[in-house]
Amino acid sequence: MARKIIYPGAKGPAAGDAPKKKRPSFASFGARTFEVIVFNQHVRDAVERGEHHQQYDDDWAENRYVEIEAESPEIARRKISTRYPKHHGFIIVDVVDIVSKFDDDA
C-alpha cells in the first residue's frame, strides 16, 4: 500500500482523498463549564485517625474543585463519577454552574 504524502504548501488533499470529518465540539451541543466539589471519604477517615491512605494524598481529605464541560449538572455529575468513583471513596459534594456563580441576582 502506497503512502500519500502531502508536501508543505500543497493545496488541499491529494486527488481521491475524502475530506476529513470534524468532530463536533461541546460548544455546538450547548455544553457549559461546571465546578464539581469532591473529596475522598477513605482519605478523610485515615487522616482523622492520624494515618495516611495507601493510594491518595492527604489533600483528598479536603474539598477539591474540579472543572468539567457538560451539557447539564446531571451529565457533569455522571462524568465526574467515572473519573472519581464512589467505590474508591470519592464523594461529590456539589455541582455548580460556573456562570450562575457570578450572577448578581442575590
For 60-82, what is each residue's pLDDT tens digit?
999 999 999 999 999 999 999 99
pLDDT computed for residue 69 by the predictor = 95
Residues 6+ apart with CB under 8 A from 91: 38, 39, 40, 41
Query: Per the domain annotation, does 1 fall within a domain?
Result: no
Q: Residue 74 belongs to what domain range?
A: 27-101
CATH number assigned to the domain comprising residue 49: 3.10.20
**How many domains would you assign to the chain?**
1
pLDDT tens string 11-59 = 555 555 555 555 555 454 678 999 999 999 999 999 999 999 999 999 9
Q: Is residue 9 part of a domain?
A: no
- 89 falls within a domain: yes
Q: Dig out the grid coordinates for 40 from the structure.
A: 475522598
b/e sequence 8-41, b meaning 16+ C-beta within 10 Å: eeeeeeeeeeeeeeeeeeeeeeebbebebebbbe
Phi first, then psi, for residue 3 (nearest 5°) are -85, 140
> Would the pTM of this model clear 0.75, i.e. be above it?
no
